[in-house]
Amino acid sequence: MGRRVLVVGGGGREHALGWRLATSPSVGAVESAPGNPGLAELGPVHAIDPSDPQAVSALADERRIDLVVVGPEAPLVAGVVDHLAERGIPAFGPVAAGAHIEGSKQFAKEIMVAAGAPTAGYVATADRDEAQAALERFAPPYVVKADGLAAGKGVRICTTIDEAREAVDDALVRRVFGEAGASLVIEEFLDGPERSLFGVCDGTDAVLLAPAQDYKRALDGDGGLNTGGMGAYTPVPGFGLDDVARLRELIFLPVLRELADRGTPYRGLLYAGLVETATGPRLLEFNARFGDPETQVVLPHLASDLGDLLWASATGSVGEVDLAWHDGAVATVVLASGGYPGDYATGVPITGVEEADALDAVQVFHAGTARDGDGRLVTAGGRVLDVTARGADVADARARAYDAVRRIGFDGMQHRSDIAAGI
């Protein structure tokens, strides 16, 4: 009898988590809340508010859940893991005080500096005049960031100081980000490719996962607006497991020590956003949960039992975990609704998912889908499906993913055609 796991969330990341858990020998059942049509194929889905701590705890009790795995940041910030801990229910994810590392960029910078982790020089302030004066100490391009969670829209990269002055006033005077922008971080611009690195943490120790590269912009060639992510691949050439081991020592372990010293030991996924600059890697930000869509490539690449790994995080034993990885590579292409990341229609019928999913080495993860009254699969979000394929190398994985993409269709469907190209 394997463990009974409840996945909290209902996007592509949670479908990938559920799918990988369902194939883990240590896992006996996978349920989800609220889930999605992809997760519904793995086990029961429960229509509760994932950010309601009482509702999640009650469901976990009722379903005799052994481990709760929280996907998105909102339930973490809302204290879902705190509530589960009070009830003695093991959970994968940080308590609200830990999730603050994603919820406040100023707090994250303080931790980075205290831990001696390499990052951009910065000034944090809620005072308009101080912020305007601070800009003089930086060179273009200027980076002006809202402190709090601003749905991915809180960061402005400004080519001129006048634009940066406007960005400061937009946040601090005009309050365009509301409370999330009531305080700012102004920081040095970091030049170079961005990488995502995931550490599974247990309060004192971390086991690192394979690095992934994601694509944030909406259009080919990194054009268009910033999005939640339009595709990803792993592994990343030139960023091997030895580099990962070095960054574990340089960033993850000192940060865990700093958080533990402050009385808030960090459990769950610590996501380090890095920029590979000419003078070495620098930390851009932390997130308190798995990246989306990087998870959709990292988990298919993982050969070890995910259920055991997440259990080790929840119970303080990641030091005993030795991870194994598949040969080859994985790529995922996000299929988005027409108009995304702006306004888009929902309820649009989707065809071809079963055919694509049946292809060799292909996995289609549901991100924003639903079943209509007749049980037909329809769109229900901006990012709709993550078409994922394994291959002998990145080029092969990419070719297989795009072959699967061609089987799928819905009105207005858009995707990038250069994910994992030229690697």
For residue 304 the two structure tokens come to 């070890």
Alpha helices in 159-202, H assignment, sequence order: 161-172
DSSP 319: G
CA 34 to each of CA 10, 38, 72: distance values in angstroms, whole numbers, following the listed order: 6, 12, 12
Count H helices, E strands: the chain? 15, 21
Nearer CB in complex with ligand ADP: 193/240: 193
For residue 156 the two structure tokens come to 């402005």
What residues contact residue 60 under an 8 Å CB cut-off, 6+ apart? 6, 68, 84, 87, 89
Shortest reach from residue 196's CB to ligand ADP, in Å? 10
Shortest reach from residue 252's CB to ligand ADP, in Å? 18
Shortest reach from residue 223's CB to ligand ADP, in Å? 14
Nearer CB in complex with ligand ADP: 43/268: 268
Nearer CB in complex with ligand ADP: 146/333: 146
Q: Which listed residue (194, 220, 243, 308) binds ligand ADP by CB under 6 A? A: 194
Q: Does 154 bind ligand ADP (CB under 6 A)?
A: yes
Shortest reach from residue 235's CB to ligand ADP, in Å? 20
How many C-alpha atoms does 422 have within 13 Å on its Cβ side?
4
C-alpha to C-alpha distance for 309 and 208, rounded to whole angstroms: 11
Of 144, 175, 178, 173, the residue nearest 161 (C-alpha): 144
Q: What is the largest CA-CA distance in the chain?
A: 63
CA 317 to each of CA 17, 20, 76, 203, 387: distance values in angstroms, whole numbers, following the listed order: 20, 20, 21, 9, 33
Q: Which listed residue (48, 190, 250, 413) binds ligand ADP by CB under 6 A? A: 190
C-alpha to C-alpha distance for 68 and 56, rounded to whole angstroms: 9
Q: Which listed residue (79, 273, 352, 412) binds ligand ADP by CB under 6 A? A: 273
User: Is 21 in a helix, a strand, or coil?
Assistant: helix
Choose the binding region for ligand ADP from 86-94, 188-196, 232-240, 347-355 (rule: CB under 6 A): 188-196
Nearer CB in complex with ligand ADP: 146/331: 146
x/- letters, 88..127, toward ligand ADP (CB under 6 A): --------------------------------x-------
Q: Which residues pair with 268 in a beta bridge?
A: 201
DSSP 116: T
Nearer CB in complex with ligand ADP: 94/265: 94
Shortest reach from residue 368's CB to ligand ADP, in Å? 19
Q: Hey, which residues between 291 and 350 contact ligand ADP (CB under 6 A)?
A: none
Q: Hey, which residues between 204 and 223 contact ligand ADP (CB under 6 A)?
A: 216
For residue 160 the two structure tokens come to 């001129």
Shortest reach from residue 243's CB to ligand ADP, in Å? 20
Shortest reach from residue 191's CB to ligand ADP, in Å? 7
Shortest reach from residue 220's CB to ligand ADP, in Å? 17
Of 285, 368, 310, the residue nearest 81 (C-alpha): 310
Shortest reach from residue 60's CB to ligand ADP, in Å? 29
Shortest reach from residue 167's CB to ligand ADP, in Å? 12
Crossing angle of helices 253-261 and 105-114, rounded to 10° = 110
C-alpha to C-alpha distance for 222 and 290, rounded to whole angstroms: 23
Report the residue count for the chain: 423
Nearer CB in complex with ligand ADP: 157/321: 157
Nearer CB in complex with ligand ADP: 189/325: 189
Nearer CB in complex with ligand ADP: 180/297: 180
By CB under 6 A, the count of residues binding ligand ADP is: 15
Nearer CB in complex with ligand ADP: 18/231: 231
Q: Which residues pair with 124 in a beta bridge?
A: 185
For residue 339 the two structure tokens come to 């108009």
Nearer CB in complex with ligand ADP: 4/216: 216
Nearer CB in complex with ligand ADP: 188/418: 188
User: Is 323 in a helix, a strand, or coil?
Assistant: coil
Contacts with ligand ADP by CB under 6 A lie at 120, 143, 145, 152, 154-155, 157, 187, 189-190, 194, 216, 273, 284-285
